[in-house]
Amino acid sequence: MTPDQSGALWHPSPNFGPRRDGLTPSLIVLHYTAMETAEAALERLCDPVAEVSAHYLIGADGTLWQMVAEDCRAWHAGAGEWAGQEDINSRSIGIELDNLGSHPFSEPQMAALEALMRGIMQRRDIPPEGVIGHSCMAPGRKCDPGPRFDWARLARQGLAADGGGAPLPQTVTFAHFRAAAATAGFTAPSDDETLLAAVRLRFRPWARGPLTAEDFLPLA
């Protein structure tokens, strides 16, 4: 097994396996580490006792490590669902970002992420709509990469869905919102409030309060 052509430092993790059922990567899942340092996260992601990993880790200073080859199944996503599909680990490439979730992501880190994603998306033919947060496929269970992550910056470069263009609904109900969210990919089981929080975390992290017509706008 060899690293992929990403320019990353190869730091292999034992925590991986083959992708199941002949699946190949069609998603990129973004995470934050929620640990004090990138080195601590790297140690955990390579610890066989922890039984977690990711394909890549990007430090706050832009250092890029690769722990699992892209053709293999890293253990980063866990239980969840996106666009009606389960076993996200077999369908995705996982990228961990050195961040506690409570502060902005650094410029060197974002620049390294963008360069990495461009290569992955070209190699794997992954569209912008295939780039999701951990919170998107596991609402309520996970909240990373969190409200401080700059999704709009990625969208401006064609590296994530821009979340715009849906018309304002005539009727604002959770039944209509759930249908619109499912069409956009948010199909993991969740109650109404948890679903609303997950969609807002991805597209409108500043939003508060009850469901509004504006919550439908990114669900084109």
Instruction: Out of 36, 51, 96, 193, pick the active-site residue.
Output: 96
79's CB contacts (< 8 A; 6+ apart) are: 138, 141
Look at strands 92-97 and 27-32 and give their pairing: parallel
Say if residues 218 and 166 touch (Cβ distance below 8 Å). Answer: yes
Residue 10 tokens read as 């190869």
Q: How far apart are CA 136 and CA 28, in angstroms?
A: 12
Say if residues 151 and 192 touch (Cβ distance below 8 Å). Answer: no
Does residue 96 carry a catalytic annotation?
yes
Active-site annotation, residues: 96
